[in-house]
Structure 1
Amino acid sequence: MIALVSRFMTDRKKELFYYGSIVSVGVVLGGIVSSQAHAVATVNLGKDQFFTLGVGVRAQYLSHDSTVAGNKGAASADDFRIYMGAQFHKYVKATLNLERLRDGNWNVLDGILQVERWKAFNIWGGRMLTPSDRSNLDGPYFLSTYAFPLVAQYPGAWSGRDDGMAVWGRLLKDRFRYVTGIYRGHNWVPGGSNYGEHPLFAGRVEYNFLDPEPSPAYYTASTYYGKADILAIGLAGQYEADGVGSAEVKGSYKAWNVDGLFEKKIGKNAKYGVYTLEGAYYQYYTDGVKDISAGYKQRSPAYGNVGGINAGTAFLASTAYLIPYKLGWGRVQPLVRYQEFRFKEGMYGPGHPKTTQFDAGANYVMDAHNLRFTFDYVRYKSANTPAQGAFLLGMQFQY
């Protein structure tokens, strides 16, 4: 297998076992505080003026990390975030969220100026989540599972974000949501394919056939724990001329996906529990060009919107069931998930090399997405390598 495939598979194993990848995301608090989360403090500054402060933490114990020689088990605090928001005027808000990195430095997760005059048409500018798939707009905090999916590889300057402008809105009694934007784009670096040239165009539409999703703005979640009956179908796409490759060999980046979420309360007031089913299908195109290595000319692969895009087809499917009876302070939600990334034929070796991942475990849900523990068994396999497994115990807290 050629070096690019090896690099991709190593990167994806790191995503599986560290979850701090460039596509991990968190739904922001602040001026758009979700009804699913709270704020540590809210300071009223006058009519239609306030400031909010919140925090988010994720930590885990992993029985074995195959990416580190001799590592038989490790505990880590993978994610610490500070959420801040402000409203200056009835229609003008701002969000500033920070994330602490493993090297001890802090990075701007979100920095958005928000003009929200109408429900159907809002304007945002700054660093924000780009229109993409449900998983990217979920979390990691608002996924149904703990680990971010390996098949979601939309590019981002940091944690699925990019710098640019977007318009978004809700119509048809909030059942139809859209977002479209223009962003700085991928491989904007000396030696990259797109240094100072073409922007990234991105868009997403979604329709809810049952209840409207209760998440804020154009963000999503993969489970609402019975808060609503959901049947949502989303379609997203991105395009950037010269978005992949190097300065010498360039190709246009194109990607699209369709995703769906079905969640149903069983019985009146979820008397018999809540059933969840999620699926997504992806197509990634690079004009037959191999992208440069992730993090090319950056401090680390986690920094910068550089490299790492692979041509291929991918999908995921997951299901979960929230047991209606309390066990101690919370409820148990068993779940399983399967993912597969199949590389484009001929670009990365003979045939269709592929990477797969299977998760089986359960969440212990104490306060929806705000306080949750996860026990997960993960089975991971890349092309021409033996399958590897690990047990994970994860915790997330946000307020």
Structure 2
Amino acid sequence: MAFCNNPLVGVVNNGLRRGFQSFLNYSGLMTSRPNQVGVDRNLFDRYRQVFKRFLASTISSMQDAFARSDFLLNLSFSPLTAPLWQTALSFKGNTARSLNDAARLLIERDGVAEDQPIFSFINLMGVHMPYHPAQQFTERFAPHILHDKTAQRYLRHFNSDVFGWYAPLTNIMDEQDKVTLDGMYNAEVATQDELVGTFLKKLSSSGRLDKTLLIVCADHGEHLGEKRLIGHSLSLYNELVRVPLIIRDPGSDLPRGTAVEHFVSTRRIFHTALAAANLADETEEVLTLAQSSTSDPDSGTVFAEGVPPQNVVQMLHRRRPQETQELGCDQARRAVWSETHKLIQTGDDRLELYSAIDDPGERLNLRDILPERVEALQEYLQTFVSHAGVTVTTREQ
């Protein structure tokens, strides 16, 4: 079962809905709810369901066109149209409703045998731009926004400037603007955290939580002006790729209160879930995160790859050509973490080496200081690319 609040997963036709028996979408012009998935009881209900499927298919095609057409995408990025689709499309979905529906279905398990495992994917979008957190958390994390007219004007402009969510900055961000974005981002995180907490309390009070392997993770972080970057499309710096990973295991494979100190890849969440459901084969079993550091099959080495969306790159070339070239925003990026260092390669020849332990902010490029380490990590990257066997170009959104 999937409960999706992200329009790029639940709305755009990119194939990510395959494999789910039930995929409930909370974003877009036409959202779905659990009571729309069931057995039709009479002729009118059957007619209504057919009409809904036809209407949903038509609307989905229209929404998909905006993501794939350069003209329509540029139109949607306009400050005049952005507020319209942000509201009409339920751009960030509905976290509270999706979590409430997920809790009800996981607790009641209608039509599911008690001993049958359920895989549930719950995708939340609330921390994404634009920022409209709950009032109580704005007061806690960004109280100045309530009375500072300059900060309010900046936030209104930022929330409506969709191109600005992707584009590199022309200069270093103003310090007060940075304070505003950091505060509002933290307030959005706190808003989602409270809603997730309510969801977990429901599972706990029903007794389901103690029968559930719970994995909390993010697919990316966010740039809020660091290194002249905004958003999450154009870098592999730690602001984007170091994400929380929390696992609550009711069994004993992942004992409570333990922390893994070495680097791990979120790709192994897949293998961990398979192993927990007793569905993993031998090659998948060894990749579960229920491993000690001494038996880690990756030996603490982690890879990442980032390919900028092609339609965004085209807009960057038109509107921010100098910054795009200067920061390599139109180039594919690859990174490798191994032992105490991290290497980022942008395009074919831009190299950055950082201490993964002592320099989490990635301020000192050690490329020219430790050339031997650069060479060794480049070999890791080349092996990774050869093993993947793909040629990377810019991708469509």
- Same-fold call, TM cutoff 0.5: no
Report which of the two has the higher share of strand.
1
Q: Which has the higher contact order (CA 8 A, sep 6+)?
A: 1
Structure label with greater radius of gyration: 2
Give the TM-score normalised by structure 2. Answer: 0.29
The structure where helix makes up a greater share of residues is: 2
**TM-score when normalising by structure 1:** 0.28
